[in-house]
Amino acid sequence: MSTELIKVTINGQDFQVPKGERLIDVCRENGFGIPSFCYYKDLELQASCRMCLVRIEKMPKLQASCTINCTDGMVVTTQSDEVEKAQRAMGEFLLANHPLDCPVCDRGGECELQEVIFDWGDIEERFTERKNAQPEKYLSPIVANDPQRCILCKRCTRVCDEWMGEEAIEAGNRGVNTVIGTYGGWLNCSQCGNCIEVCPTGTLLDGTYRHETRPWELDQIVSTDPYSSDGMQISIGARNGAVHRIVARDRYVNGLNGEFLDIKARFGHGFVNHPSRIKVPLIRYSKGGNLIPATWDQAIDFIANKFKEAGSVGVVASPRLTNESIFTLRRFAETAGNGSYAVAESFDLAPVFENLSVPLATHQDIRYAKSILLIGGEPEEEQTFTGRQIRQAVNIGKAKLIIVNDTPIRLTQCASQFLHINRGSYDAFALSAIDPDFDRMAAAKAGINANEIEALRNTLFETQGDVVIMLGSELSADAVAAICASASSLAAEGRRVLLHPLAKYNNSVGANDMMPGRRSVMEVINGSKALLIGGSLQDASLLAGKDFVVVQEMFETDTTAFADVVLPASSFAEVDGTYTNNAGNVQRVRKAIDSLYQSKPDWMITASIARELGVDFGYDFSASMIFKAIADSIPAYAGLRYPALKDESNPVQVKHEIKSNISLSTFGSRLKETVAGLSDEENKNNERPRIGHKLHRVTVMTGKTEQFHLLAHGNPKPENLLVSPLVQFNLDGSSKDEGLAEAATVGLNDRATIGVNN
Q: Which residues bind ligand SF4 (CB under 6 A)?
A: 143, 150-156, 159-160, 164, 166, 168-169, 180, 187, 189-195, 199-201, 203-204
The residue among 191 and 357 lying less far from ligand SF4, judged by its C-beta, is: 191
Q: Which is nearer to ligand SF4, 180 or 399 (CB)?
A: 180
Please state whether beta strands 292-293 and 400-405 pair in parallel, antiparallel, or not at all (unpaired). unpaired
How far is it, in rounded angstroms, from Cα 169 to Cα 99?
Answer: 22
- Are the beta carbons of 531 and 525 closer than 8 angstroms? yes
CB of 618 to ligand SF4, least distance (A): 47
The 31-70 contact track toward ligand FES, x by CB under 6 A, reads -----xxxx-------xxxxxx-----------x-x----
Q: Minimum Å distance from CB 594 to ligand SF4?
A: 32
Nearest approach in angstroms of CB 88 to ligand FES is: 15
User: Strands across the sheet with 137-138, in order?
Assistant: 137-138, 143-145, 204-206
**Between 179 and 615, whose beta carbon lies closer to ligand SF4?**
179
Which residues are 403's β-sheet partners?
Answer: 374, 418
List binders of ligand FES among 596-625 (CB under 6 A). Answer: none
The entry of ligand FES, ligand SF4, none near residue 246 (CB within 5 to 8 angstroms by kind) is none
DSSP 8-state assignment for residue 282? E
| Rounded Cα gap, residues 470 and 454, in angstroms | 19
The one of ligand SF4, ligand FES, none whose footprint includes residue 404, by CB under 5 to 8 A per kind, is none
Q: Closer to ligand FES at the Cβ: 51 or 573?
A: 51
Q: Which does 342 bind (CB under 5 to 8 A by kind): ligand FES, ligand SF4, none?
A: none
Between 35 and 747, whose beta carbon lies closer to ligand FES? 35
Q: Provide, rounded to whole angstroms, the least separation between the CB of residue 194 and ligand SF4.
A: 5
Q: How far is the CB of 49 from ligand SF4 (least distance, A)?
A: 9
Cα dihedral 91/96/97/98 (nearest 10): 50
CB of 534 to ligand SF4, least distance (A): 34
Q: In the complex with ligand FES, which residue's Cβ is closer, 67 or 683? A: 67
Compute how many residues bind ligand FES; rule: CB under 6 A. 12
CA distances from 645 to 364, 403, 577, 588, 639 (A): 18, 34, 11, 7, 12
Task: Say how far residue 317 (Cα) sits from the centre of its chain.
Answer: 21
Query: Considering only CA atoms, which of 498, 459, 266 is closest in space to residue 367?
Result: 498
Return the number of the residue (199 or 499) whose C-beta is nearest ligand SF4.
199
**Which among ligand SF4, ligand FES, none contacts residue 333 (Cβ within 5 to 8 A by kind)?**
none
In this structure, the number of other CB atoms found within 10 A of the CB of residue 279 comes to: 13
Backbone region of residue 377 per phi and psi (left: phi > 0; alpha: psi in -120 to 50; beta: other values) = left
CB-nearer residue toward ligand FES: 60 or 103 = 60
Question: 87 or 425: whose CB is closer to ligand FES?
Answer: 87
For the range 303-309, what are the long-range contacts, defined as Cβ-Cβ under 8 Å and sequence gap of 24 or more?
A: 303/550, 303/565, 303/609, 303/612, 304/609, 304/612, 304/613, 306/530, 306/548, 306/564, 307/336, 307/337, 307/530, 307/532, 307/548, 307/609, 307/613, 308/613, 309/548
Residue 545 makes CB contacts below 8 A (sequence gap 6+) with: none
CB of 49 or CB of 272, closer to ligand FES: 49
x/- letters, 432..471, toward ligand FES (CB under 6 A): ----------------------------------------
For 637, the 3-state DSSP assignment is: helix
143 interface partner picked from ligand FES, ligand SF4, none, CB below 5 to 8 A per type: ligand SF4
Nearer to ligand SF4, 245 or 600 (CB): 245
CB nearer to ligand SF4: give 201 or 508.
201
Residue 199 partner contact from ligand SF4, ligand FES, none using kind-dependent CB cut-offs of 5 to 8 Å: ligand SF4
CB of 694 to ligand FES, least distance (A): 36
Instruction: State the nearest-atom distance from the C-beta of 44 to ligand FES, in Å.
Output: 13
- The site partner of 47 among ligand FES, ligand SF4, none (C-beta below 5 to 8 Å per kind) is ligand FES
Which of 59, 234, 263, 293 is closest to 694 using CA atoms? 263
The answer to whether the CB of 648 falls within 8 A of the CB of 255 is yes
89 contributes a contact to ligand FES by CB under 6 A: no
Contacted entry of ligand FES, ligand SF4, none for residue 66, CB cut-off 5 to 8 Å set by kind: ligand FES
**Residues 576, 222: Cα–Cα separation, whole Å:** 11
Q: Could you tell me which residues are beta bridge partners of residue 360?
A: 499
- Quote the CA–CA distance of 423 and 405 in Å, as a whole number: 8
Q: Which amino acid is at 305?
A: N
Residue 447 has, within 13 A of its CA and on its CB side, a CA count of 20
Q: CA-to-CA distance for 641 and 628, rounded, in angstroms?
A: 6
Shortest CB 94 distance to ligand FES, Å: 11
Contacting residues toward ligand FES, per CB under 6 A: 36-39, 47-52, 64, 66
